[in-house]
């Protein structure tokens, strides 16, 4: 079987490499010449654990290619996946479909055989229907079908998420489209992974509903953390107590600085707009967006309070920049709002992240110092703020912190440290939703 993927970004590259691992012949069409040259040279433009080896192996096997032209990429392809960006549109919060429709137009203009156009990008409800109309208008001479196959990839664990998914969702209304997708995902039948076939609109909404619900769980536990701080409770125990209820589940109940990344912020905004325009506004999602934005903007105030209310002249070591560990993605990272707030309050910020330094630099105030190591960020610091829970930060011992730091303030925005040993070593520890003695 042969397929093409339009877009060699995060979703397109991971999906292409994983489909190739299934034994499918995959051509990834990347419009950016610099990025395509990197891929042809065996260099991966993003950080995702295991992706470099997966790409290397499948390129060597001849199953994964990066053609120079769109025509080469889609030649003979039974399915053409659209995996381009759908960023938040400025001004109204909707998903910007400029790249999606441009890609579809180019595919339709180039296609010379029947095929299924599949949206892999996260697109608003009704997009598949519009693409189907475009196909009927622009290529009435070809039997072009349309399907929706939303991705559910978590950055940092995208490969196992693709290879052993909780479920695969396919929105298709023709038997031919369903057959093509069924063949493509045949390896998952042996693993007994559920494959759900629905209509176009249903598949598109499933993706938004899933991300909206998970974002809501994160926001809920963050609000419970704020309540815990007021009443003397511990949010880690609250989360465990409710997470053991099978109806609730323990995942996404980790209190912290608020969600960021490429999916939750833009998808909650888009879902809010979709619901409003459909005449069924989602008050819950509206609140999730507002609460999460306010939480990130309030992070610097938390640090200032831990430092006695004044950050002027203080050296603050920020450990972590990416929105989560095992990625270099800085999109909507809580670290951005935190660092801007610290700098505006007069603090000198030294920051370190194992993978996100290059992607973070253009997004940070010029005054921010990027250290080469965690120790470099901590040396002489008045306060430590942990915001991304990389494993190398978890193992920092109180004795080591005492050797490196000038001050004694630890603000743990992920609750990864045990407060007892830190306080015993003379540190003033502040977590999220943890009562202070």
279 token code pair? 């005449």
CA-wise closest residue to 148 among 176, 185, 116, 103: 116
Strands 195-198 and 409-412: unpaired
Question: Which residues on adjacent β-strands are paired with residue 349?
Answer: 316
Angle value at C-alpha 249, between 245 and 254, nearest 5 degrees:
115
Strands 64-65 and 79-82: unpaired
**Which residues are CB-contacts of 220 (< 8 A; sequence separation ≥ 6)?**
none
Strands 195-198 and 2-6: unpaired
Burial 247-280 (b: 16+ CB within 10 A, else e): eeeeebbbbbbbbbbbbbbbbbbbbbbbbeeeee
Distance, in Å, from the CA atom of 83 to the CA atom of 296, rounded to the nearest integer, reads 29
Q: Are 208 and 274 in contact (CB under 8 A)?
A: yes
Distance, in Å, from the CA atom of 399 to the CA atom of 390, rounded to the nearest integer, reads 19
For the question of residue 307 being annotated catalytic, the response is no
Q: Are 303 and 413 in contact (CB under 8 A)?
A: no
Distance, in Å, from the CA atom of 236 to the CA atom of 250, rounded to the nearest integer, reads 11
Could you list the active site residues?
Answer: 263
């Amino acid at each position: 079987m042969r397929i093409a993927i339009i877009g060699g970004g995060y979703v397109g590259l991971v999906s292409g490499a994983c489909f190739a691992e299934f034994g499918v012949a995959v051509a990834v069409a990347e419009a950016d010449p610099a990025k395509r040259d990197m891929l042809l040279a065996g260099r991966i433009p993003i950080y995702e654990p295991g992706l470099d080896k997966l790409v290397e192996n499948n390129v060597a096997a001849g199953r994964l290619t990066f053609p120079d032209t769109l025509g080469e990429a889609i030649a003979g392809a039974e399915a053409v996946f659209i995996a381009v960006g759908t960023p938040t549109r400025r001004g109204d919060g909707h998903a910007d479909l400029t790249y999606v429709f441009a890609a579809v137009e180019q595919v339709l203009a180039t296609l010379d055989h029947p095929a299924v156009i599949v949206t892999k990008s996260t697109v608003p409800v009704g997009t598949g229907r519009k693409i189907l109309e475009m196909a009927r208008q622009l290529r009435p001479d070809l039997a072009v079908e349309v399907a929706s196959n939303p991705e559910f990839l978590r950055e940092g664990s995208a490969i196992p998420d693709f290879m052993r998914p909780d479920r695969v969702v396919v929105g298709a209304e023709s038997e031919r489209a369903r057959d093509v997708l069924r063949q493509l995902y045949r390896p998952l039948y042996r693993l007994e992974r559920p494959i759900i076939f629905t209509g176009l609109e249903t598949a598109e909404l499933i993706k938004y509903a899933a991300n909206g619900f998970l974002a809501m769980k994160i926001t809920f536990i963050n609000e419970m953390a704020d309540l815990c701080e007021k009443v003397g409770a511990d949010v880690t125990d609250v989360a465990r107590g409710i997470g053991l209820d099978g109806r609730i589940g323990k995942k996404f109940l980790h209190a912290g600085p608020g969600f960021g990344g490429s999916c939750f912020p833009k998808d909650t905004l888009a879902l809010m707009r979709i619901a409003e325009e459909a005449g069924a506004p989602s008050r819950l999602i509206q609140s999730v967006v507002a609460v999460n934005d306010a939480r990130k903007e309030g992070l610097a105030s938390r640090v200032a309070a831990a430092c006695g209310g004044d950050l002027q002249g203080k050296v603050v070591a920020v450990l972590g920049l990416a929105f989560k560990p095992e990625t270099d993605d800085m999109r909507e990272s809580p670290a951005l709002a935190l660092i801007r707030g610290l700098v505006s309050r007069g603090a000198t910020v030294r920051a370190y992240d194992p993978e996100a330094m290059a992607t973070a630099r253009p997004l940070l105030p010029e005054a921010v110092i990027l250290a080469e190591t965690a120790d470099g960020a901590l040396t002489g610091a008045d306060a430590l703020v942990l915001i991304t829970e990389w494993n190398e930060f978890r193992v920092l011992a109180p004795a080591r912190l005492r050797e490196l730091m000038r001050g004694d303030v630890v603000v743990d925005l992920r609750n990864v440290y045990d407060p007892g040993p830190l306080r015993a070593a003379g540190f003033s520890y502040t977590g999220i939703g943890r009562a202070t003695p």
